[in-house]
């Protein structure tokens, strides 16, 4: 059974999210502090974390930073759940490696939908055994979900991985922002512009020699993005 860890100090929120996730067939673990959340993460290895931004002993940003810096935890998808609605708060969370961001008050069915969408992205490459994509100095192993840049391993969040896989599978194709978010997040997303741009910026920082002069992911003015055709391609 897929395990979801909910880290939030508001009892009513935890009960509501837990009930809906359990009705959807997930096993739900809970924690009310950042430290307890880390303990559960390391002991139980959940498949995804729903994380409140405001915790009594720390904040969700710091905990996300700690998760992404821990080799044992960095691949775990994180959905931030918070009452903060400022666009800058959303961008900071995404820049730290969060995969999605839900603001309170929320519809619990939306939480379930977001969890399912992120999990689909995480497991999307499970059936692509030994299939690899390459472009220039990039090699993306779809089975191992591993990126190598100039033969060095590079960690990606699930969203970054799905974006890069989509780009590398379709070099030269221009995607609108709406298409990219629908194909990688798995649902329609309000206020897509800054959210997608932040994921793209994070990805460029990891794969481009100069993120300000990208050689791989090109901006198509007023439309979206495309991956430049480069020597290399799908490998059996």
Q: 131: which 2 tokens?
A: 């299939």
Q: What confidence tens digit (pLDDT) does each residue in 188-228 have? A: 555 445 778 888 999 999 999 999 999 999 999 988 999 99
pTM, rounded to two decimals: 0.62
Peptide bond into 2 cis (omega under 30): no
Please give the pLDDT value at position 177. Answer: 84
232 — pLDDT class (breaks 50, 70, 90)? very low
All domains of the chain in start order, with CATH: 3-123 (3.40.50.2300), 132-235 (1.10.10.10)
pLDDT in tens, 79-104: 988 776 666 666 777 777 788 888 88
């Amino acid at each position: 059974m897929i395990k979801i860890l909910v880290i939030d100090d508001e009892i009513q929120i935890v009960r509501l999210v837990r009930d809906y996730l359990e009705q959807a067939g997930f096993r739900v673990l809970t924690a009310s502090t950042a430290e307890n959340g880390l303990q559960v993460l390391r002991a139980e290895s959940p498949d995804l974390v729903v994380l409140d931004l405001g915790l009594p002993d720390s904040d969700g940003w710091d905990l996300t930073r700690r998760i992404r810096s821990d080799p044992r935890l960095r691949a775990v998808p994180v959905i931030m759940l918070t009452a903060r609605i400022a666009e800058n708060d959303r961008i900071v969370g995404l820049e730290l490696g969060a995969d999605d961001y839900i603001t309170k008050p929320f519809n619990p069915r939306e939480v379930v939908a977001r969890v399912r969408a992120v999990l689909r992205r995480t497991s999307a490459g499970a059936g692509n055994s030994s299939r690899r994509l390459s472009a220039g100095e990039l090699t993306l192993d779809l089975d191992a979900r591993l990126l190598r840049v100039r033969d060095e391993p590079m960690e990606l969040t699930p969203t970054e991985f799905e974006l890069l896989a989509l780009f590398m599978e379709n070099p030269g194709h221009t995607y609108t922002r709406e298409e990219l978010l629908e194909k990688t997040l798995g649902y329609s997303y309000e206020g897509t512009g800054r959210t997608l741009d932040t994921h793209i910026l994070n990805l460029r920082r990891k794969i481009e020699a100069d993120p300000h002069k990208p050689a791989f992911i090109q901006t198509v003015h007023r439309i979206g993005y495309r991956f430049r055709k480069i020597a290399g391609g799908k490998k059996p």
